Copies of this chain bind each other. A is one copy, B any other.
Amino acid sequence: MNGEFTYQEIMGQGESWSKSLAEAENQFKKIIAHLKKPWSEVIFTGCGSTHYLSLTAAARWQSFTQMRARGIPGSEIWLYPDTILPSKDPLLVAVSRSGSTTETIKAIHVYKERFNLDPIVISCYPDSEMMLTTNYPFLATGATEKSVAQTRSFSSMLLMTQYLMVKTASDEIKFVNQLLQLPNAFNILVKKYENIIKHLSKEQKFQKFVFLGSGINYGLACEAMLKMKEMSLSISEAFHFMEFRHGPMSMVADDTLIIGLLNDVTQKDELKVLNEMKAFGATTLVIAESAKDINADYIFELNSGIDPILRGPLYLPSLQLFAFYRAIEKGLNPDNPKNLSAFVELSD
């Protein structure tokens, strides 16, 4: 069957999250002292999906901990460190499913040479090259994948960054408890929306997909854009909500589905953008904690009761399923996207 592995990996995310959380406490004990050093800032890095993970993790980290944090592609740290790295010690958090991505490994080496420090490395494979570069590895357990496109690995590693964030900055047990509620919230969500998504993916008029997200959700919008591209070979883009009005919306027409990842506090301003796009002919779909006060063509309600800063992994499953079903609809195999391989190794 086309997409057999991808489907299992998407639908098994709740289970992966539970496994990763069960192993987190023990691993955290070995890295807590390192995490709590007085860093000048935290730089998350990765490539492709894990770069987008870095963007959303950094925004969450700074907002939750009040420590400065940024997400930067591994290749940019490797090739252009002077445009990025601060003069005083930053903490590098390198994220890679395989632990073998050449650019992220090169970024780690630039970091180690410049600052004589070890990064935190988050990965799904314990013995990979990247894990061996540091004394501070942090594993997302049970999140390895057979598919090329990252789904459960992405959400599990995002969850691990949130675990580190919560445990580094707060003694409040309620935050860890909220992380533990995510698997159950996931199960409710996919049961509720899978059939609607399947139906939506058959809609032939949608030829362009735009994912909008801001603040802590911008990186998630980018990841959803990438899933749609990789699995279904559709035209898809991601922008900050307001940025979309500064030019990119020139392309909006009847063939456009705009997907908004709403933030609780700012959704009024975000919905204004979506309503304007409806006037240009677009169809709108939103993902939000609550459907209250929302006017859109499709609404996916998370209804999680979980703090916005920890709720991130729940935005993704519906959008992963959407990309998956659209690929199936087009006769493509989402397990093996065109032109791609499971990880990118550069030759010298």
Find out whether the CB atom of B103 lies under 8 angstroms from the CB atom of A242. yes
Shortest beta-carbon distance from A297 to chain B in Å? 19
Find out whether the CB atom of A66 lies under 8 angstroms from the CB atom of B87. yes
Find out whether the CB atom of A344 lies under 8 angstroms from the CB atom of B245. yes
Task: List A residues at the B interface (Cβ < 8 Å).
Answer: 47-49, 51, 59-60, 62-63, 66, 68, 70, 73-76, 79-80, 82-84, 86-87, 103, 149, 214-216, 218, 226, 229-230, 233, 235, 237, 240-243, 245-252, 263, 266, 269, 272, 280, 337-340, 344, 346-347
Find out whether the CB atom of B76 lies under 8 angstroms from the CB atom of A240. yes
B-side contacts of A84, CB under 8 Å: 59, 62
Shortest beta-carbon distance from A283 to chain B in Å? 16
B-side contacts of A249, CB under 8 Å: 339-340
Give the complex CA separation of A86 and B74 in angstroms.
23
Find out whether the CB atom of A75 lies under 8 angstroms from the CB atom of B214. yes
Closest to A240 in B: B73
B-side contacts of A252, CB under 8 Å: 339
B-side contacts of A241, CB under 8 Å: 75
Most B C-beta atoms less than 10 A away, residue of A74, A242, A243, A249:
A242
From B48, B83, B235, B248, contact of A215 by CB (8 A): B83
Give the complex CA separation of A216 and B82 in angstroms.
10
Find out whether the CB atom of A86 lies under 8 angstroms from the CB atom of B68. yes
Closest to A341 in B: B245
Give the complex CA separation of A266 and B75 in angstroms.
11
Shortest beta-carbon distance from A309 to chain B in Å? 10
Closest to A51 in B: B243
Find out whether the CB atom of B250 lies under 8 angstroms from the CB atom of A338. yes
Closest to A248 in B: B229
Most B C-beta atoms less than 10 A away, residue of A62, A80, A233, A340:
A80
Find out whether the CB atom of B250 lies under 8 angstroms from the CB atom of A340. yes
Find out whether the CB atom of B242 lies under 8 angstroms from the CB atom of A47. yes
B-side contacts of A235, CB under 8 Å: 235, 251
Find out whether the CB atom of B266 lies under 8 angstroms from the CB atom of A247. no
B-side contacts of A66, CB under 8 Å: 82, 87
Give the complex CA separation of A66 and B86 in angstroms.
8
Given A63-B83, A75-B240, A240-B76, A250:B68 Cβ within 8 A: no
Shortest beta-carbon distance from A115 to chain B in Å? 15
Shortest beta-carbon distance from A270 to chain B in Å? 9
